[in-house]
Amino acid sequence: MLFLAVFCGFLAELQLEHYIENQREKKYIRQFQQDLLADSTALTGFIISEEKSYSRIDSLLQIFVHKKYEENGNEAYYFARQLIRTSNVVLSDGTLNQLKFGGNLRLIDKDDVAKRILEYDKAGKEFELFQERNTYRTEEAALQLEKLFDARTFYFMLNENNQIIRPTNNPQLISKSEAEINTLVLRLQYVKGGILKRLNMAKRLKNQCTQLHQSLKEIYHLD
């Protein structure tokens, strides 16, 4: 009888521990769901912003590739002034860090959820790393602008709300050096390629984010 009582107590303790861990698992999943929603919103805004950046870079390239900068000074200055206005995404990693570094990933035991969470984390880290590596391309192109564009014109294109205003007096380049223009065109192409890759990565990551969010909702029967 004593053995049976001890055994039943052991089973009850195991059941209680399992219940507590199950509740902790659901808590982390709900937190992670909120992180995914925040990521989705951030990525949506980033995609919209990057599509605009891509369009501006392409327009600036067309002006220089076809040597239309003399008659299209307003557009050349307007698009060039916006070159360094890029956006970056910082993904939510609070819950992921708790799961990975707090030893709590073991709590996630349904289907292949833990694997998919880590796959999303890996994709997010690769995306953020590419953003960092690609920043210097934009900086290089911005440095080249200094050799061709009038800084005073750039100065007067910015209003008190930090908005860029398109000039109307058809400003001209301070240099029309073929070599300097060639370098700018080359660097702008690198920037354009980087934007396109960031866009594709962001769209794939957003799809992954949406699918993971929906899967967790179904697996854990969340509202």
Render pLDDT for 116-163 as a digit per residue (tens, 0 to 9).
Answer: 999 999 999 999 999 888 888 899 999 999 999 999 999 999 999 999
Burial readout 116-139 (b: 16 or more C-beta within 10 A, e: otherwise): bbeebbebbeebbeebeebeebbe
Q: One-letter amino acid identity for 199?
A: L
**CA 175/CA 148 separation, integer angstroms:** 5
Confidence of residue 14 (pLDDT cuts 50, 70, 90): very low
Q: What is the pLDDT of residues 152-195, one digit of tens each?
A: 999 999 999 999 999 999 999 999 999 999 999 999 999 999 99
| pLDDT of 108 | 78
**CA 98/CA 82 separation, integer angstroms:** 39
**CA 72/CA 174 separation, integer angstroms:** 14
Reported pTM: 0.86
Confidence of residue 21 (pLDDT cuts 50, 70, 90): low
164 φ, ψ to 5°?
Answer: -90, 125
**CA 155/CA 87 separation, integer angstroms:** 22
Q: Yes or no: say if 54 and 111 are a contact pair by the CB < 8 Å rule.
A: no
CATH of domain 11-219: 1.20.120
